[in-house]
Amino acid sequence: MKKIFSILLVLIITCSNLIAQQTDNSVNTTISVFPYQQHNQIDGALTTMSGWGKIEWKKLCSYLDQAQQSQDSLKLKATYALNAFVNKASLNTIQKASVIKLLGKQLKKAKTEYAKIFITTQLALLTDVAIVDARNNSLPAVPIYIAAKASNLNGVQQLLQLQDEMELAKNPIQQKRILAKVAHIPGYSSFAFVSKYLTNEAINNDAASIITRLALEDASIKGANVRAALEIALPLIKGVDSAILVNKLKAHLKKLPYDNGFVSLFNGKDLTGWKGLVGNPVYRSRQSDSAMQALQVKADEKIKNDWVVKDGILVFTGHGDNLCTQKKYGDFEMYVDWKITEQGDAGIYLRGSPQVQIWDTSRHEVGAQVGSGGLYNNQKNKSTPLVVADNKIGEWNNFHIIMKGNKVTVYLNGILVTDNIILENYWDRALPIFEKEQIELQAHGTYVAYRNIYIKEIPSNQPVQISEIEKKEGFVSLFDGLNLDQWRGNKTGYIVADGTVVVNPEDGNGGNLYTNNEYANFVYRFEFQLTPGANNGIGIHAPPAGDAAYVGMEIQVLDNEAPIYKDLHVYQYHGSVYGVIPAKRGYLLPTGEWNQEEIMINGSKIKVTLNGTVITEGDIKEASKNGTLDHKEHPGLTRTTGHIGFLGHGDVVRFKNMRVKVL
């Protein structure tokens, strides 16, 4: 009997060993494709993992308890595999619930700190709970606040810390204290952070005052988003200093540029403004429009599973391709917060080319000890950062990236790590970097999260050229975007800024600016941008002195939809020959948008076309033979030549792309 029992025991042990070996082989084979970007194999591996039982999951999680080995260890592969599976499961409500239950059990069995922390982070991706206590496998009764850091943190690090604290703040008093600290950190990132609380009734008065002061103290804080936030803030400003602050803000809004400010690339809700990756720039340039469209549709469909938005954060799931901006960029300035987990590897492609590096600095086997922020793929030019400036794994980091021409500057957490270094063309090293291309968030097989992605396009310092078509038609440029060499008159009241001519009411109240040359019959084309209630005009056949509306002619430039102009005469609408021929209303674009206008005068015939619609057309002689509409003398109507001019009235208006064709 004992002999039979011994034989059975041996058979049981043998079978158990065989089963265990088969399980090991099955799990090892499945996770062998990680972390590499072999998409078909990864998708297959994730499907296989969906059918695993308790034994397979126990084996996978046991690998997380192994001692640290090389990059190719089972521990590392298990890390990548589990992260990718969890992110995929987060998209399926039913599967998510079962995975939460599974990981909860495995967390209780975890032995090493690495396994406990990693499984905890994966649970956080699947639940609405911000923090799980890995030590006792339960939710903490009180939120765990970030430990206070050294008081000598730079502004960027302080802002990162304060954002973490704001997520954990329990009441308006704590939130107000945090905003008060942010108020002392200058820059757009602080402005954008505080602006988010303009809709919070408990603290919006504080937020309004803070963003107003930040904007008043920093001229670089501009653009449509800034204006929109400040317009919301204006009626919210209260307190003893409100009278002074409100008046300053009203004056500031009048001159605040709509353009060349930071815009958000990520709305915190979905992938609006982003698309999937289709090959590289060289490959894309060889595709027909129809082929590219088909490829793009396919890529866009795929990224829905590769990149997800969770709690206002953009997360790469661990498998898939790069996420790309729909828009192409030339020179730009960019802010972006990012966070990785242990063994993380990611990056940001500039103009479609790799890359500003992101990685776990403990990965000495791949040279990551040099830190993030270097131009990793450079061969001839410097590729490594100047210093290591990374925060700890699991903490947020901030990049400030500036790209002008082919050179890149990177600040990591407020510290210069890449100083004006040429970015080489990875796709064709014989060519310089592309002049314009998309920005990409790299997919490299590991978890990475992004937030607060802001970009500002930097105007080119190259002269503006008119199109070849217009050149053939006989047009010549009157403004190259760089100087006023072709103009005379009040050059203090009109200045060049960001490639435009801007009325500068602080110096000269605008006044008049005229072309150096005189013109008789011509077609004049230009673009203009109005601010609320703005008033200007285009002088025609004007002499260099006198009121051009009468000694020459004035084509009205006016925000005639503003409430202050509700009682206008018909001959005062935008596009009217002032006092003589009225224009149609309703064709101006909203203030802040660029309008296109063409003025044609040939003999006594005049025509004004606004945004593709003729709004004024008539014969000056016929319109004035029985007196003008405003019943005033207009001796300039008999002039047959003169200067083209801008006729300022002290309001901020911007002009660009001025060109003329002599008839």
SS3 track for 201-266: CCCHHHHHHHHHHHHHHCCCCCCHHHHHHHHHHHHHCCCCCHHHHHHHHHHHHHHCCCCCCCEECC
Distance from C-alpha of 153 to C-alpha of 151, rounded to nearest angstrom:
6
Amino acid at 313: I
Q: Answer yes or no: is pLDDT of 36 > 70.
A: no
Q: Answer yes or no: is pLDDT of 384 > 60.
A: yes
CATH class, range 274-455: mainly beta
Q: pLDDT tens-digit profile of 618-651?
A: 999 988 888 889 899 999 899 999 999 999 888 8
- Residue with the bigger pLDDT between 523 and 505: it is 523
CATH of domain 468-662: 2.60.120.560
- Residue with the bigger pLDDT between 78 and 436: it is 436
Distance from C-alpha of 398 to C-alpha of 375, rounded to nearest angstrom:
16
What is the reported pLDDT for 341? 92
Q: Answer yes or no: is pLDDT of 8 > 60.
A: no
What is the token pair recorded at 539?
A: 């002088």
Helix (H) or strand (E) holding 612, with range, is none
What is the token pair recorded at 82?
A: 């589990």
Backbone angles phi, psi at 451, to 5 degrees: -155, 170
Amino acid at 421: I
What is the reported pLDDT for 11? 44
What is the reported pLDDT for 17? 44
What is the reported pLDDT for 3? 53
Distance from C-alpha of 192 to C-alpha of 335, rounded to nearest angstrom:
11
What is the reported pLDDT for 663? 94
Q: Taking the CB of residue 659, how many other CB atoms lie within 10 A of it?
A: 19
What is the reported pLDDT for 112? 85
Residues whose CB is less than 8 angstroms from the CB of residue 378 and which lie 6 or more positions away in sequence, other chains included? 421, 422, 423, 424
Triad 545, 547, 553: Cα angle to 5°: 105
Triad 634, 637, 643: Cα angle to 5°: 110
Q: Answer yes or no: is pLDDT of 609 > 60.
A: yes
Residues whose CB is less than 8 angstroms from the CB of residue 468 and which lie 6 or more positions away in sequence, other chains included? none
DSSP 3-state assignment of 403? strand
Q: Answer yes or no: is pLDDT of 90 > 80.
A: no
pLDDT confidence tier of residue 138, bands split at 50, 70 and 90: very low
DSSP designation for 450: E
What is the reported pLDDT for 529? 95
DSSP 3-state assignment of 200? coil
Q: Answer yes or no: is pLDDT of 368 > 50.
A: yes
Confirm if 554 and 540 have CB atoms less than 8 A apart: yes
Q: Answer yes or no: is pLDDT of 149 > 70.
A: no
- Mean pLDDT over residues 407-431, rounded? 95
pLDDT confidence tier of residue 129, bands split at 50, 70 and 90: very low
What is the token pair recorded at 180?
A: 């008060």
DSSP designation for 576: -
Confirm if 474 and 524 have CB atoms less than 8 A apart: no
Q: Taking the CB of residue 551, how many other CB atoms lie within 10 A of it?
A: 19
Confirm if 451 and 335 have CB atoms less than 8 A apart: no
Residues in the chain: 663
pLDDT confidence tier of residue 151, bands split at 50, 70 and 90: very low
Q: pLDDT tens-digit profile of 305-352?
A: 889 999 999 999 888 899 999 999 999 999 999 999 999 999 999 999
- Mean pLDDT over residues 184-193, rounded? 95
Backbone angles phi, psi at 81, to 5 degrees: -65, -45
Least confident of 31-40, 305-314, 343-352, 440-449: 31-40
DSSP 3-state assignment of 343? coil
Average pLDDT for the chain: 86
Distance from C-alpha of 620 to C-alpha of 629, rounded to nearest angstrom:
12
